[in-house]
Amino acid sequence: MPLIETVDLCQIFDKKDILKNINLKVEQGEVFALIGPTGAGKTTLLRLLNLLDTPASGKIFIDGTDTNASTKIRLAMRRRMAIVLQKPAVFNMSVYDNVACGLKWRGTETGEIHEKVTNILAMVGLNTEINRKARTLSGGETQRVAIARALAIEPELLLLDEPTANLDPTSASRVEELITGILQRFDTTIIMTTHDMSQGQRLADRIGVMVDGEILQTGSSNDVFTAPRNREVADFVGVENIIDGKITTSEDRVVTIDTGNNTIEAISEYPSETGVSACIRPEDVTVALSKQSTSARNLFNGEITRVISMGALSRVELDCGFPLVALITSRSAQELDLKKGSRVYASFKATGIHVIRKGGK
């Protein structure tokens, strides 16, 4: 049984659908990241999961229990989880008292509270600030107090809303390390939101891509990244080469896609006449100066429009009648003497192309 499950969850604000039929299951011990652009409804969903707001329709089950059964059940269920809000609010009291609050409300004994709070403050690196007024802390420190406060109650489910969004890079990496630490030390189930695809990949077991109030795809970060279900997901996860076209022939799953002035061969189940987008990962594109014999089915002559060196790798932008980005080692870029205006041959394999149907959900 999943730890938390939503069934057709909808939320409406000012007659606008903020969440549309969210059906989500998160298992015990899993780290699930909801990624999506700002305004996709991630925070709204997290607030509903924490039972802070009431959904317009739909249900939330925790361990199979309907959370909307009674106020008493809502409180009991809320006490099994904790949320760290994007802009955490701290109570106008000391750091210690802030972290102790949740335990006090649960009627924990003073001695036990002291032990837990001291340990957790040491873990988040705030043991020297125990008696400081929480309102005088910096943004990064406040975030750590909020995380400590949530951890103090030893939640079964920890909800993190953009835990690093408002922080400077140093504080952000510190908070991320802290989250990794929590994952190693506790068997906490985590649902986090982020608009940072790479953060989701680093921390989560499973990712859900949320756009316009809908979860468009869930899966491992690798699945979502290499095989986005539709154009919106592909755009959001940062697939660089998305080429629109129409399947003209289909034989034994090998399809020809007409992109207007070129044709691409790919592997796909879709029949002829289907409008599709071909996603090509930049690292799958090879660049050569001459028309070498290659097993790749797709070979295009193009002009380099830009070369950007990114340390060990270089990003080569080409115009092959359609824009194409290739990611190659900086060493080969140097050896080939790639620069703006050079004409090169770009090739990629049919099997490396992920074909998605246009308008598909």
Partner 1 sequence: MTELWNGFTKAIELIVSLDPEVIEIAGRSLRISLTSSLLASLICIPLGSLIYFRRFPGKRALISLIQTFYSIPTVAVGLFVFVFLSRAGPLGGLGLLFTPTAIIIGQMILITPILLGLTISAVSGVERGILDTAYSLGASNIQVAIVVLREARFAVVAAVIMGFGRALSEVGISLMVGGNIRGFTRVITTAISLETSKGDIELSLALGIILILIALVINVLLNRLQQRS
Tell me the residue type at 300.
F
Nearer to partner 1 by C-beta: 42 or 349? Answer: 42
- Cβ neighbours, 10 Å, residue 9: 22
Verify binding: residue 291, partner 1, rule CB under 8 A: no
Verify binding: residue 101, partner 1, rule CB under 8 A: yes
Q: Least distance (Å) from partner 1 to the CB of residue 46?
A: 10
In this chain, which of 78, 114, 202, 357 binds partner 1, going by CB under 8 A? 78
Instruction: With contacts defined by CB under 8 A, name the span among 82-90, 255-263, 330-338, 343-351 that binds partner 1.
Output: 82-90
| Total interface residues for partner 1 by CB under 8 A | 25
Tell me the residue type at 158.
L
Task: Find the binding residues for partner 1 in span 21-60 (CB under 8 A).
Answer: 47, 50, 52
Verify binding: residue 106, partner 1, rule CB under 8 A: yes
Q: Least distance (Å) from partner 1 to the CB of residue 68?
A: 15
Nearer to partner 1 by C-beta: 42 or 149? Answer: 149
Q: CA-CA distance, 69 to 331, in Å (whole number)?
A: 63
Number of H helices, E strands in the chain: 10, 20
Nearer to partner 1 by C-beta: 161 or 214? Answer: 161
Verify binding: residue 79, partner 1, rule CB under 8 A: yes
Encoded tokens for 46: 């997290």
Instruction: With contacts defined by CB under 8 A, name the span among 143-151, 164-172, 250-258, 308-316 that binds partner 1.
Output: 143-151
Task: Find the binding residues for partner 1 in span 146-175 (CB under 8 A).
Answer: 146, 149-150, 153
Q: 179, 211 in Cβ contact below 8 A?
A: no
DSSP 51: T
Q: CA-CA distance, 72 to 251, in Å (whole number)?
A: 61
Q: CA-CA distance, 301 to 346, in Å (whole number)?
A: 6
Nearer to partner 1 by C-beta: 85 or 233? Answer: 85
Q: Least distance (Å) from partner 1 to the CB of residue 102?
A: 4
Verify binding: residue 105, partner 1, rule CB under 8 A: yes
Which neighbouring-strand residues pair with 145?
none
CA-nearest of 122, 36, 46 to 84 is 46
Which residue shows structure tokens 């020297």? 128
Cα 48 to Cα 23, 41, 61, 102, distances in angstroms: 13, 11, 11, 20
Interface contacts to partner 1, rule CB under 8 A: 47, 50, 52, 75, 78-79, 81-83, 85, 87-93, 101-102, 105-106, 146, 149-150, 153
